[in-house]
Amino acid sequence: MTIVVLNRRNLLVAGGSVLATGVLANGVPGLLLPARADGLAPTETMSGGANNYRKGAAIVDRIGKGGFWMSGTVRRAGDGAPLAGQRIQIWAHTVEGQEHEPQSHGATLTDKDGKFRLEMPQIIPIFGQPHGHLAYDSGEFKTVFLRPVMRSPKDTSLEAHFVLQTA
Amino acid sequence: MTGWALARVILIWAALAVAIGVPIAFAAGSEQLAWRGPVYILAGFAGIVALGLVLAQPLLIGGYLPGFSAYRGRRAHHWIGGALVLAVVIHVAGLWITSPPDMIDALTYASPTPFSPFGVTAMWAIFLVALLASLRRRLGLRPRTWRFLHMPLALVIVVGSVAHCLLIEGTMETISKAALCALVLAATAKAMIDLQVWRKRRALRGEGTARQ
């Protein structure tokens, strides 16, 4: 969903800006400017997001044997610009290990569009909810812990999106 | 005992065994157990057993289980209450060992999972009832006062336990879980209506002496 929003945003920024400034800004500058000033709000850390976090998980091509996809985006608060090369740490209770065990943890980097995608073992319900954990903890921006929940334990993918603010 | 009376006794006990045994059996067959450690498995089943014990409580005190006179039903209600405390302690301790931060979140009402506050509230109500029951004679609580304290807490235990259980995605199979929860609610409602627990009646003479 958010990827669609992101594309639409890119489209607006890249292609529609001339039109927007030409039509809207001249006509109603007071309405357009405050919206830009507020911008994209930063993502708050979710409660329980940092549970069973291990500092400094290695960047891996895949966690364990894979079969499940964790993906998402990393953007900058305010202007929503995609952030490339950001390290996102991922862990969960999977068919290959419990949340706190080292083999359940791994990290990946965002691409030039601010997107990340890491294959990992199938997530299974733990503590009553099938969920994953993600962290941005590199220091340049404020640390954020996310805890997205799967709609069904049978899902084979999960998304989480970061909007980071400068630390 | 006539044949019909015997059949009725067997039927009621068999129904109770099915109501509690079938959800446990389904949970024992859950594929999720393959990815859980023994402590986590024990903690989960302690929770399921606790729900079964919550079903037994109104049935015992309401006198619906054949073979238990009012006196014996009340004695059994006390013992089952103690067993319920033990089951909840095993449930919480086992989950704490499995994932300390998640359990601490739950106990401090800071958990992201919607079912946790229901379970934790029911837990405190269970502990409080057990504490009050153990001190009941020492505090000199009259039956009326006791009922006034116990009934709201019993409602919190029943509603909290059912909500807690229904919202969890765990080893329990959905339909057998919902059926057990419905029975817990129905048994509680029936016992409370039959015993007219809301009525401010004077202590029945038999009530005070029956416990001795």
A135 and A81 in a common domain: yes
Task: Report d(CA A161, CA A83) in Å as an integer.
Answer: 12
Residue B124 lies in a domain: yes
Report chain A residues whose CB lies below 8 A from the CB of B116: 128
Residue B126 lies in a domain: yes
Strands A132-136 and A87-92: antiparallel
Write the CA distances from B71 to A147, B41, B68, B136, B150, integer angstroms: 51, 36, 8, 17, 18
Check whether B70 has a pLDDT greater than 90. no
CB contact under 8 A, A99 and B167: no
Q: What is the CATH number of the domain that holds A131?
A: 2.60.40.10
Task: Report d(CA B193, CA B170) in Å as an integer.
Answer: 33
Residue B12 lies in a domain: no
CB contact under 8 A, B35 and A95: yes
Report chain B residues whose CB lies below 8 A from the CB of A64: none
**B99 shares contact with chain A (CB less than 8 Å):** yes
A-proximal residues of B, 7-66, CB under 8 Å: 32, 34-35, 37
- For the stretch B150-175, pLDDT in tens is 999 999 999 999 999 999 999 999 99
Provide the token pair at B26.
């389904």
Residue B195 lies in a domain: yes
Among A52, A65, A126, A127, which would you mutate to test the B interface (most chain B Cβ atoms within 10 Å of its Cβ)? A127
Q: Which pLDDT band, with edges at 50, 70 and 90, does B110 fall under?
A: very high
Q: Which domain holds residue B177?
A: 28-210
What integer pLDDT is reported at residue B210 of this predicted model? 43
Q: Which domain holds residue A6?
A: 2-38
Report chain A residues whose CB lies below 8 A from the CB of B34: 95
A22 and A92 in a common domain: no
A88 and A28 in a common domain: no
- Could you say which of A49, A124, A127 has the minimum Cβ distance to residue B35? A124
Closest of A99, A88, A78 to residue A137, by C-alpha = A88
**B109 shares contact with chain A (CB less than 8 Å):** no
**B170 shares contact with chain A (CB less than 8 Å):** yes
What integer pLDDT is reported at residue B207 of this predicted model? 47
List the single residue in A with minimal CA-CA distance to B94. Answer: A127
A131 and A85 in a common domain: yes
> Total structural domains in chain B?
1
Report chain B residues whose CB lies below 8 A from the CB of A47: 105, 110-112
Q: Is the pTM of this model over 0.90?
A: no
Residue A63 lies in a domain: no
Q: Which pLDDT band, with edges at 50, 70 and 90, does B1 fall under?
A: low
Task: Report d(CA B118, CA B116) in Å as an integer.
Answer: 5
* Rounded mean pLDDT, B169-186: 96
Task: Report d(CA B18, CA A153) in Å as an integer.
Answer: 28
Provide the token pair at B83.
């067993």
Residue B147 lies in a domain: yes
Residue A146 lies in a domain: yes
Q: Which pLDDT band, with edges at 50, 70 and 90, does B41 fall under?
A: very high
Residue A82 lies in a domain: yes
What integer pLDDT is reported at residue B3 of this predicted model? 84
> What integer best gives the mean pLDDT of chain B?
92
Q: Which pLDDT band, with edges at 50, 70 and 90, does B202 fall under?
A: low
pLDDT (tens, 9 = 90+) of chain A, 167 residues, equals 444 444 444 444 444 443 444 444 444 444 444 444 468 999 999 999 999 999 989 999 999 999 999 999 999 999 999 999 999 999 999 999 999 999 999 999 999 999 999 999 999 999 999 999 999 999 999 999 999 999 999 999 999 999 999 98
Count CA atoms closer than 13 A to B184's CA, side-chain side. 27
> Total structural domains in chain A?
2
DSSP letter string, B85-143: HHHHHHHHHHHHHH-HHHHHHHHTT--SSTTHHHHHHHHHHHHHHHHHHHHHHHHT--H
* Rounded mean pLDDT, B83-92: 98
Q: Which pLDDT band, with edges at 50, 70 and 90, does B2 fall under?
A: confident
